Structure 1
């Protein structure tokens, strides 16, 4: 509205280039393409409502273009660091600690972690079964030595036959690993642990990105990392979940 008033634009009868001029103005002011896209979506909704009400026939944003943001997702939304995770683990309860291991080592989505059942976890063979990942695809995921150790400890407390499972104060359903029935509940408890550690909580996905980045730097194979994370396309892994260090090739080039 302020832009329209400042440019003397009639909102019901905008000129041919007014909408693109608005987009260019936002970009020139330093707005990110993703934020500009949201503005355009809101403005398009407004004009759909105005057309429905018979106030105008204009559809000024129909042929406008917002440039793509070429910044990789892992740069815009980076993974947690090793130190951040270590600090949080010191302040987390058993449930949150094990949940963080599943996201940051097994690379599970939060929905996949919360859906795990005891029968899906085999800490002796060091793998777990994701029954219904994104796109309802199942996959077997290898787990780290430290995650397997945490799983044995967690099973001893909360697994079938464990003290917290049989004493009348059971905190997990009979067949599920976690007491959390919803992601928001898990988020609430995780935020408390992050707050106690003085680490900003940015959701569970940065833990998953930590798994992707650490594994890629170790094995240098996007295909295997994509399989670990359950990505159908390696491009998804490359754009938003794993990144090689800037000086990754220095040892390979040292003998040139």
Structure 2
């Protein structure tokens, strides 16, 4: 009984983090990987192992979130098809590179770029009504997003969502599509990590993140459907700016 209580106390914080991270990710199309990976690394877990744990959890949470977005009609199927293949290719490359070399040198540059994207989206959401356009740059975006997500432990949502929004795509459709595509990316990354690191890469925190994430997954799609497009731009811009600035500060101080 004592062991069970101790185990519950160990898992509960990760359940709360998984729940909160997935609520944000499902509603705004980003942040689960960033929040979860940052926490695990701060607890001393090696970056490759943290990324492996997070992506294992996301294999399940993105499946639940994707189904929910489909049911709420938040998915652009043509855009989804154009993102998946290059995203998978980038994910395989990124997961392999992370297990072989240290890619942290480029992280502050990517985060600084995402900070600028966040500030722009925030400004646009506050000042203008979004004019919907069909995005043109899709395949390269999927490739880069998949690579950075695997190599950095999070990045598919911030990179792909922000750039599609800047190109003028409808916020609700972007969030739903990017979340649904993320399932295929995370499954690919998880399989690559298992092949290179083995099952020893996964920690007890994985269980807590998984439980919390699955509980929150259906709610995010519901929120994305009901928040207006300008408000979504403001929320996405704010979240992207905050998480990116935190990442820049942490990368420069360590």
Q: TM-score when scaled to structure 1? A: 0.24
Q: TM-score when scaled to structure 2? A: 0.25
Q: Which has the higher helix share?
A: 2
Query: Greater Rg, structure 1 or structure 2?
Result: 1
